[in-house]
Structure 1
Amino acid sequence: MNIWKKGIVLLILLAIGLFGCAPQAEFIKLQDDLSTATRKQNQLQQRIEVVEGYLKDKTTTSQKGQQDIHRIIADLGVKIDQLSTDIQIIQGKLEENNHRISELAQRLDDQAYKIKELSAKIAAADGKPAGASEKAAAPPAPQEKGKTGQNPSDVYNRAYQDYVNGNYDLALTGFQAYLTEFPDATLAPNAQYWIGECFYGKQEYKKAIDALDKVAANYPKSEKISAATLKAGFAYLELKDKTKAKAYLKKVVDQFPNSKEASLAKGKLATIK
């Protein structure tokens, strides 16, 4: 492969890597902020309990002394209320960040696949198959076209780009067409997953859950199952069904303990009361 072509691939990989760092760093900072705010809230609550103990003590007979204690309790109560508000804001940001990290992870999976395709095309242009060095050159395997004569990569990429641009209806149509035309394609599980993401983006959470459940049902060996299960758990939370949300999130932790989705599921479970 020519040096400049290798450089293109390396630049793309570097861009993808940097793109993934920011949300994760923000997520860690928010977790630290939440821990700090919660600790301060607990400390204030302990101080209130101590002051209330003094107030109940019969030896505290001075009316002025009791008034001062009441004022201190009131001030501490205001501080606790403010911290509670701060904690709710941080938890909201954490939830939003969870969604962003999950979605970003799935985008990176698709981008990694595109990198492989790009490497194969560059290698083919050089007269070598991807991954070969001294081996004999071989032409890349042609992609099977669908009934409409379209290339599967083109159909998938158009649908995916529509999703990235927020055109969920167009993306839905594209991914559904992809599954109809190429039901056994390598990216069929991904297409099914993104159908669920499209419904989630449209806030049609029940339809999102149905679509995401089909990933495991139709593609039991797919690497997308953990991501689909996690997203379905988030969808149940949007529907205020905490019982099913917890069940789905725990399934991710139990069945995929070493995955990035398991880490996100644990974080979300910790915020559900």
Structure 2
Amino acid sequence: MRRACAVAALLACGTSAHAGLFDDDEARRAIIDLRTRISALEDASKAQGGQTAQQLQQLQNALLDLTNQNEQLRQQIAQLRGANEQLAKDLSDVQRQQKNIAQGVDDRLKRVEPQQVNLDGKTFMADPEEIAAYEAATATLRSGDFDKAQASLGNFLRRWPASGYADLARYWLGNAQYGNRDFKGAIVTFKAFIAAAPDHARAPEAELAVANCQIELRDIKGAKATLADLMKTYPKSEAAVAGKERLASLK
């Protein structure tokens, strides 16, 4: 009986020990499984972290490429701006040169093209050189240099005999001759002026000047005839009034 109890007790002990061993294996397997899962998670995390790092590196590379492209674009824009500024300067230079050329052409044309002149109610065309020569000659006369004025006006009439200035040039030539006391020459010139332009505003003055020249030459008879013709031809002129007084003073 005691032996049976002992065996039963041993059996009971053995069963209890086996149950404890079974629990330890389960726990061990659970731990191993957990560790495996943790390791897998860590590996996945590392893999994901590597992928994230790779994506980040790609983004950084793309950003660097964009930065480089932006810098290249800035350089190209700067070059284009420089080129545009140079083109603008070149264009400005060309336009200025064209303007200077055009101005030069205009100036040359003005020196050779006839110009319209209005003088003593008469309108005509004259070359620039012709205008300059006439103005220079009459300016010399106004300065009182009768010798030079007589030469200049004579040269003018020889060079431009059909000029619109010709009538007045003859009138002023007569005055220059009178100033030089070339009374005979002045009479010829004044009469030529009157014959060419009898309706000219200065024709009465020219006829009075002829009479004055005749008086200087002691040709009183001729002077009286000239003064009488002056009062008859140009009765309303101031020269006729002066001629009447001059005629009255002659003996």
Give TM-score, length-normalised by structure 2: 0.48
Larger RCO of the pair (alpha carbons < 8 Å, separation 6+): 1
- Which structure carries more helix by proportion? 2
Larger Rg over CA atoms: 2
